[in-house]
Amino acid sequence: MFDQLRAQLPGWVQDSRALANQGKVAAYIPELAKAPQHVLGITVTGRGGESVSVGETDFKFTMQSISKVFTLLLAFMDHGEEGVFAKVGMEPTGDDFNSMLKLELVEPGKPFNPLINAGAIAVTSLIKGDTPAIKTERILRFFKEASGGANLAVNSAVAKSESATAHRNRSLAYFLKDNEVLGEEVDVEEVLQVYFDHCAVEVDCPQLARMALVLAHGGVDPITGRELVPRRYVQIAKSFMVTCGMYNASGEFAIKAGIPAKSGVSGGILALVPGQYGIGIVGPALGAKGNSTAGVHLLEQMSTAFDWSLF
């Protein structure tokens, strides 16, 4: 596979890069608007650590919604399935990732899943730690472990930029407090601070691919042999990636690519081929549903060529 990938990936990247013209770089977080429209990079890493990188794979970007998969795993490790599912549901919404709609319309006002913003904020409130700084530190430590020990850090300019403009997320969080999804003891601003920080953890494609590899192998880092997350929790996270990972385009992506993936508004996509590869992509121009246009196209081409679909 890697020989074929080395031969074909440059051509596929070139084809997919053209799709950046059909997207727009996210601007609602002002710092993100600085990303160049036509960047496209991809790293695919295999179980022995072999990897192929094509395009601008050194380009640094913040994880944004991709981080939600990993905070979900940490919340499971902190509270078990019952504790997490007391706060969030298991279903896709069909609404935008930052929608408030169903929080009011559908009893009991619990976010439908942990990958929409409301659900991820609820999950962040579950992360253990005495102070927001300790919570962020635990999250960062876990992300670093999952990346095989990379020196990851929060891009504080991005976190601050998000916090300064996060009127929608603030409303969602206060709404959750009113619905008692965020408990009495929870300080809404502190939860938001941790949420903005984990969304702003900066990675490049090889680091993202390495994190994906751990999910591809059921929570075991195949390179070190260490179990980082119980298999059951990874199974749940991958189910969410298939049903909600690409937001309202998750159905189309399941049909066209058929592998678990999670996107972020910085243009990152983490994807995986179960039992085999971890994939990290960046392509900052987003389509109408919030996913990298070039990145999605690239994954669809690759999945078709290598017959990766799980279905």
Site for ligand DON in 255-294 (CB under 6 A): 263-265, 290
Of 169 and 250, the one with the shorter C-beta distance to ligand DON is: 169
Of 176 and 265, the one with the shorter C-beta distance to ligand DON is: 265
Interface with ligand DON, residue 175, by CB under 6 A = no
> Where are the extended beta strands (E) located within the chain?
24-25, 41-45, 51-55, 61-62, 153-154, 201-203, 261-263, 268-273, 277-282, 285-286
Q: Is 113 annotated as a binding residue?
A: no
Distance CA 67, CA 266 (A): 12
Interface with ligand DON, residue 65, by CB under 6 A = yes
Fill in the amino acid letter for 47: R
Mask for 178-217, x = binds ligand DON (CB under 6 A): ---------------------x------------------
Interface with ligand DON, residue 117, by CB under 6 A = yes
The DSSP letter of residue 248 is G
Site for ligand DON in 28-57 (CB under 6 A): none
Taking the complex as a whole, the smallest distance from the CB of residue 171 to ligand DON amounts, in Å, to 12
Beta-bridge mates of residue 268: 282
Q: What are the structure tokens assigned to 116, written together?
A: 């929409």
**Catalytic residue check, 68:** yes
**Catalytic residue check, 247:** yes
> Where are the extended beta strands (E) located within 148-265?
153-154, 201-203, 261-263
Distance CA 266, CA 264 (A): 5
Distance CA 66, CA 271 (A): 10
Taking the complex as a whole, the smallest distance from the CB of residue 263 to ligand DON amounts, in Å, to 5
Secondary structure of residue 6 in the 3-state scheme: helix
From 8, 37, 98, 179, residue interacting with ligand DON (rule: CB under 6 A): 98
Annotated binding residues for substrate, as ranges?
Answer: 65, 117, 162, 169, 195, 247, 265
Which positions touch ligand DON (CB under 6 A)? Answer: 64-65, 97-98, 117, 162, 169, 199, 263-265, 290
Annotated binding residues, as ranges?
Answer: 65, 117, 162, 169, 195, 247, 265
